[in-house]
């Protein structure tokens, strides 16, 4: 092959590669620029349009054509004269005029609101969301976090309070994905504290608070960045709005796939700490029948009519319940009573009692829950072959 042909071939290859370079080149150049000259914060800056500061009040020169009535006036709408020297606080270009993340309202009767450093998802009493108790909201939250691919780092025993594992988000509070990296969006690795509770008038809500944030470029290069209160509100409200979007999506998914398994902590109808399974009562019972032996638990007695299992925990060293040498089932050896109940008419609750039929303390259930969720999900997969997921504290 001649040199001319080689050069021509190289030119063709280069030209064919140009579209790919064009797609990623701008992002790469922008990242390199920010690495050496500092992070681009232009999207956080004020608009720069200040024509309103030069506005003046003129005499009413409206001309009413003959034969028409003069329009009425409202003195409450008159703009008062203000002495600029008497004003305190930022003025003109010093005012950050960026709008906050707009609260979102769902047709299901759910809306968001920013109050005292928290973004709150409120469940309206007359809404169609079906969330009427703290247990309902807690169980829903576990499912929503699963759909958003946000891990739970810590759950406060006996409380409706959790802390998430750090996860990358966009500046609008949306979980970061590959498409965001492709267009060069910055990553915000954040941790949220989320609680379920009520306000003074009894309204039920899920409150989210941003408690940690680290910024990096799409390339992964960490950047120094201190978020002001407006930015914190923007992220938390974006996060809360995304919770509502996920609730809407989950509502549609639940209608299409009611067997999608989610395991969470909650309260049974007796207000005892329990493991909640988003599966029908009959399905959960069928799963448990083959589960205990694999856990190293011996079934001493089983009452089908009472959905009650008397079990003895003799050995938790079965290979199936251990991953990378870590013991998953954190429960003391001994005898237990395990009851299965109907939860919210369509789900199941699994409640643990000691040999004397007293409920196991909340702290012990919280320790058992992560490992038990693991083995329950695995058993569900082999039982139904359906898509199963777990929501647990890591």
What CATH number is attached to the domain comprising 331?
3.30.310.170
Residue 361 lies in a domain: yes
Last residue of a domain, one of 256, 277, 297: 256
Last residue of a domain, one of 256, 274, 291: 256
Q: Do residues 361 and 231 share a domain? A: no
Count of positions (residues) in the chain:
394
Q: Do residues 110 and 252 share a domain? A: yes
Q: Do residues 248 and 270 share a domain? A: no
Q: Do residues 229 and 296 share a domain? A: no
Which domain, by its residues, includes 321? 263-384
Condensed to tens digits (0 to 9), the pLDDT of residues 343-353 reads 887 789 999 99
Q: What is the CATH number of the domain that holds 112?
A: 3.30.530.50
Last residue of a domain, one of 199, 227, 256: 256
What is the domain count for the chain? 2
Q: Do residues 268 and 227 share a domain? A: no
Condensed to tens digits (0 to 9), the pLDDT of residues 171-227 reads 777 888 887 887 788 888 999 999 999 998 889 999 999 999 888 887 878 777 777
Residue 9 lies in a domain: no
| Alpha carbon distances (Å) from 245 to 73, 141, 226, 329 | 44, 12, 28, 34
Question: CA–CA separation, 350 vs 372, rounded Å?
Answer: 11
Question: CA–CA separation, 24 vs 18, rounded Å?
Answer: 10
Condensed to tens digits (0 to 9), the pLDDT of residues 260-281 reads 678 889 899 888 999 998 887 8
Residue by residue, pLDDT tens for the chain (394 residues) are 444 333 433 333 333 343 443 444 455 555 544 555 565 555 555 555 566 667 676 776 778 888 888 777 788 887 777 787 787 776 666 666 666 667 888 878 899 999 988 999 999 988 888 888 999 899 888 878 887 888 999 999 889 999 999 999 887 778 888 878 877 888 889 999 999 999 988 899 999 999 998 888 878 787 777 777 778 888 888 888 888 877 776 565 444 344 567 888 989 988 899 999 888 787 788 788 778 877 778 888 888 778 899 999 876 554 444 444 445 688 888 999 999 998 887 789 999 999 999 999 999 998 888 888 888 888 887 665 444 444 444 3
Q: Do residues 249 and 363 share a domain? A: no
Going by C-alpha positions, the residue among 333, 351, 329, 352 that lies closest to residue 342 is 351
Q: Do residues 205 and 285 share a domain? A: no
Helix (H) or strand (E) run with residue 290 in it: helix 281-295
DSSP 165: P
Question: CA–CA separation, 342 vs 278, rounded Å?
Answer: 10
Residue 6 lies in a domain: no
Q: Do residues 195 and 335 share a domain? A: no
Helix (H) or strand (E) run with residue 152 in it: strand 152-155
């Amino acid at each position: 092959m001649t040199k001319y042909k080689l050069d021509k071939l190289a030119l063709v290859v280069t030209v064919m590669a140009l579209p790919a370079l064009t797609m990623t080149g701008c992002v790469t150049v922008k990242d390199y620029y920010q690495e050496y000259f500092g992070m681009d914060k232009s999207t956080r800056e004020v608009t720069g349009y200040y024509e309103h500061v030069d506005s003046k009040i003129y005499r009413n020169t409206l001309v009413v054509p003959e034969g028409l009535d003069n329009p009425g006036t409202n003195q409450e709408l008159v703009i008062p004269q203000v002495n600029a020297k008497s004003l305190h606080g930022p003025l003109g270009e010093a005012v950050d005029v960026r709008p906050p993340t707009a609260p979102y309202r769902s047709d299901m009767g759910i809306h968001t609101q920013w109050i005292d450093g928290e973004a709150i998802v409120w469940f309206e009493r007359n809404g169609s969301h079906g969330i009427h108790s703290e247990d309902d909201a807690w169980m829903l939250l576990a499912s929503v976090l699963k759909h958003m691919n946000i891990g739970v780092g810590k759950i406060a025993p006996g409380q409706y309070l959790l802390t998430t594992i750090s996860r990358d988000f966009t500046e609008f509070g949306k979980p970061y994905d590959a498409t965001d990296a492709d267009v060069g969006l910055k990553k915000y690795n954040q941790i949220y504290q989320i609680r379920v509770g009520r306000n003074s008038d009894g309204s039920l809500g899920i409150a989210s608070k941003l408690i940690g944030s680290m910024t990096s470029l799409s390339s992964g290069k960490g950047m120094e960045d201190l978020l002001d209160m407006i930015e914190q509100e923007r992220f938390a409200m974006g996060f809360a709005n995304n919770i509502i979007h996920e609730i809407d999506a989950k509502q549609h998914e639940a209608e299409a796939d009611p067997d999608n398994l989610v395991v969470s902590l909650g309260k049974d109808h007796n207000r005892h700490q329990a493991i909640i399974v988003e599966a029908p009562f009959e399905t959960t019972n069928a799963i448990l029948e083959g589960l205990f032996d694999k856990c190293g638990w011996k079934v001493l007695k089983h009452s089908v009519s009472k959905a009650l299992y008397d079990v003895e925990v003799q050995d938790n060293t079965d290979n199936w319940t251990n991953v990378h040498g870590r013991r998953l089932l954190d429960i003391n050896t001994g005898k237990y009573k395990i009851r299965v109940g109907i939860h919210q008419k369509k789900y199941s609750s699994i409640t643990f009692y000691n040999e004397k039929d007293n409920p196991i303390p909340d702290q012990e259930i919280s320790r058992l829950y992560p490992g038990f969720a693991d083995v329950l999900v695995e058993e569900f997969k082999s039982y139904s072959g359906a898509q199963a997921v777990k929501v647990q504290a890591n």
